[in-house]
Structure 1
């Protein structure tokens, strides 16, 4: 019984993390600056998911789900961050000039890694739908009569691990294509596409909260 639940959740988690989305785009964008930067984004995303997963296990996200005001506050904060991130990225890409072959001068490594970590973490932490995802999914895979806390923690660990492994593969794949992705023209358009997606998601979140 429990084995079937475990494998069922693992399958759902793997399919979920492999579905292209905002996390994949964030990791791909930061991987252009190098594997360490890409892995920093993966770490930020993993920590953000871990925070939501832990909150779900102890029941804190139940309060968020029950309170429309609290849910909308988190949603608006997330929308504001996405709009800021997308607008900044779009502005930087529009003012970037120079050769289409040579890459731009990179930022200091410490700041780049920190920016990637922060982007991955805040994008997940300020997205209440991640908490709702855990709250709606975890109860379906909890065994009857078992330890809900221990089993829930195991399921969260499986999801976070699956996400970290898959996104690390994205970092590796981006590294293989770095010669192409690092070109100014490609990087500029990659930034613009991602900025458009971020701004669109931000506007969508604001509209949903209205």
Structure 2
């Protein structure tokens, strides 16, 4: 395959991966609905920062350790499952009832950036995917580091476009979606999704 063919094939595969509903989609939708678009955008930036960290791990060989070491995979897997379960249980047991202006767009915070990034970094499935997926699209004889970060950048751009689309889609319904009952329902639903993903991750195999 030529370089152009590799890039087109990867872009197509990464687009399908991005559009597949998962934890990231649930996190962004819930955050945009309950806390506003700025917080949701921070969560999206955190998720994509996690992609770059996994890309660095793959480029410099750390991702290969996760792929071949059962112990390293399990440690990261259980840490990730525990983190997701903690987030989910907090939403299930302590759902919000209302929002103040400071909890939406008016108060900048790195909180959701960190949550988005940690949720991505502590998911070894992302590392396994990058280790097994990215090398297939790197032309023979090309720089592993340059191509890895280039391909991850394509994935990140697609992820940001999709995230912005999701965030934008929630805005026309913002007033309805921020009512007390809806906020509680969104928190509990997202919390349940997080707990299910935590269980799935904890019992998953490579």
Question: Normalising by the residue count of structure 2, what TM-score does the alignment of the two structures yield?
Answer: 0.91
Count of residues in Structure 1 that have an aligned counterpart in Structure 2: 202
Range with greater deviation from structure 2 (69-78 or 29-38): 29-38
Residue in 2 that maps onto 1:202:
198
Q: How much does 1:207 deviate?
A: 2.6
Residue in 2 that maps onto 1:167:
163
Distance 1:72-1:106 versus aligned 2 partners, 3 A rule: farther
Residue 84 of structure 2: SS of its match in structure 1? Answer: helix
CA contact (8 A) 2:15 2:158 kept: yes
Range with greater deviation from structure 2 (145-154 or 36-45): 145-154
Instruction: Give CA deviations for 1:16-39 in whole Å, capped at 9, x if unaligned.
Output: 111111101101111121111111
1 CA distance for matches of 2:140 and 2:59? Answer: 16
Q: How much does 1:6 deviate?
A: 0.4
1 CA distance for matches of 2:15 and 2:157? Answer: 10
Distance 1:180-1:108 versus aligned 2 partners, 3 A rule: closer
Query: CA RMSD of the aligned region, Å?
Result: 1.8
2 CA distance for matches of 1:105 and 1:2? Answer: 51
Q: Where does structure 1 differ by over 3 angstroms across 4 or more consecutive aligned residues?
A: 103-113
**Gaps in structure 2 of 5+ consecutive residues:** none
CA contact (8 A) 1:80 1:202 kept: yes
Distance 1:131-1:116 versus aligned 2 partners, 3 A rule: same
Residue in 1 that maps onto 2:39:
37
2 CA distance for matches of 1:108 and 1:174? Answer: 17
2 CA distance for matches of 1:204 and 1:124? Answer: 15
After TM superposition, list the pairs within 5 Å mapping 1:102-121 onto structure 2. Answer: 103-105=98-100, 108=103, 113-121=109-117
Residue in 2 that maps onto 1:133:
129
Residue in 1 that maps onto 2:4:
3
Instruction: Give CA deviations for 1:145-184 in whole Å, capped at 9, x if unaligned.
Output: 2222222221111111111121111111112221221111
Residue in 2 that maps onto 1:154:
150
Instruction: Give CA deviations for 1:2-58 in whole Å, capped at 9, x if unaligned.
Output: 100101101111111111111011011111211111111011101111100111122
2 CA distance for matches of 1:193 and 1:111? Answer: 25
